[in-house]
Amino acid sequence: MFIADGHCDATLRQFEAETPSFTEGMTITESSLREGQVNMQLFALFAPVYDERADLFDAVLRQVDHFYNLIVSNDQIEFAPCTPLTETSKTRAILALEGADGLQDDWMKWRLIKRLGVESVGLTWNESNALAAGCMEEQGHRLTNKGREVVTFLRNEGMIVDGAHLHDDSYFEAASLSDSFFVSHANSRTIHNHPRNLTEEQLQVIKDKNSLVGMTFFPKFINGSEEATFADLLRHIDHIAGSIGSDYVGFGSDFDGIPQSVSGLESPRGILNLIDYMQKHYKEDDVRKFAGENYRRSITNTLNATQTATTVNDLSQLSKIKRNCQRRCVHPLRV
């Protein structure tokens, strides 16, 4: 079974550690990925916006350095940007950027992270920046002019826009301007009302884009407490799969970025236990989709879209999705 996890903060933990490692001291390690039989792991580069003293782009580059020196250099890891996902004994690493505060609209920096192998970009963390509104802002807004330029760059470069952490209005516009769009780690706002979770309209965008949302294992986003069970997590999966279909759900653990996790899911090793539990509640085909096949399909679609986005059919579909998303933007534009 192909197993994929759409989000972790391992490189941030390495950046913060006195002695960076990929073998100990973290949740995501070479052994935990191997024992959990994880075939694809997305590694997020995070600019520590909560640290006023930090040079944000320097922090991103240092995490890239750890990614190459500690993770990619490991025999367990395969790093082959912009190529199809295959099921092997190794873990395919995908590099992502979570929050663009360290880049803003500096095109040299954007070209550099593309050349370094970044395939997915989230425009914000929880707060707003010069590009977009973050999900924790009470008064949100659509993308700024700079934000639209960045999304256009990402589209032209065949990169994926990650809607996690975006305020609702920025989310809809980012989706409307993107060829490839997904949400790496979030759950259902209907099941638990938290700004980091997705509304029904946001979930419909995932279906419109033929993409997916990765279920995060953070109890605070599952039920609002510090503890959660497999059953609690499955309530989100049940709802989303029932609302938009089983083709649009995956995993987005947020390991190494969360202080608590679902009981039994404290590391990638626990994913096999989750799959065993899911097999008692879902058809085998759906379990395979949730575990990783939906990610494999989504990545394949991204590769195909990069090659064919200029065809008449693709442009027509993009225009339809854009109109649907624009109708959902309710706050006035701020730049």
On the question of pLDDT at 302 being above 90, the answer is no
> In terms of residue numbers, what domain contains 190?
4-327
Residue 332 domain flag: no
pLDDT at 38: 98
Q: What is the pLDDT of residues 48-57, one digit of tens each?
A: 998 888 899 9
Q: Is the dihedral of CA 317, 321, 327, 331 positive or negative?
A: negative
On the question of pLDDT at 257 being above 50, the answer is yes
Residue 335 domain flag: no
Average confidence score pLDDT of the chain: 92
Lowest pLDDT segment from 123-127, 250-254, 290-294, 327-331: 327-331
On the question of pLDDT at 314 being above 80, the answer is no
On the question of pLDDT at 106 being above 80, the answer is yes
Q: How many alpha carbons lie under 13 Å from residue 26 in its C-beta half-sphere?
A: 28
pLDDT at 300: 86
Residue 193 domain flag: yes
- For range 243-250, the mean pLDDT: 99
On the question of pLDDT at 312 being above 50, the answer is no
- Residue 162 has phi, psi (to 5 degrees) of -100, 120
Number of domains in the chain: 1
The angle that helices 168-177 and 145-156 make with each other, rounded to 10 degrees, is 40
pLDDT at 51: 86
Contact 110, 153 (CB under 8 A): yes
Residue 13 domain flag: yes
Q: What is the pLDDT of residues 161-182, one digit of tens each?
A: 999 999 999 999 999 999 999 9
Residue 141 domain flag: yes
Residue 222 domain flag: yes
Q: Would you list the DSSP string of 180-195? A: SEEBSS--BTTTS--T
On the question of pLDDT at 310 being above 70, the answer is no
Residue 91 domain flag: yes
For residue 61, what is the domain's CATH number?
A: 3.20.20.140
On the question of pLDDT at 326 being above 70, the answer is no
> From CA 159, how far away is CA 120, in angstroms rounded?
6
Query: Residue 312 CB: number of other CB atoms within 10 A?
Result: 7
Q: Output the CA–CA distances (angstroms, integers) from residue 113 to 81, 96, 97, 108, in the order listed.
A: 12, 9, 9, 9
> Residue 18 has what DSSP assignment?
S
Give percent above pLDDT 90 in the chain.
85
Estimate to the nearest angstrom the gap between the alpha carbon of 242 and the chain centroid.
21
Estimate to the nearest angstrom the gap between the alpha carbon of 238 and the chain centroid.
20
Residue 302 domain flag: yes
Q: Output the CA–CA distances (angstroms, integers) from residue 193 to 188, 190, 199, 237, 320, in the order listed.
A: 8, 6, 9, 15, 29
Q: Output the CA–CA distances (angstroms, integers) from residue 99 to 21, 53, 69, 102, 219, in the order listed.
A: 24, 17, 23, 8, 22
Residue 274, H or E segment: helix 271-279
pLDDT at 323: 55
SS3 label, residue 227:
coil
On the question of pLDDT at 306 being above 70, the answer is no
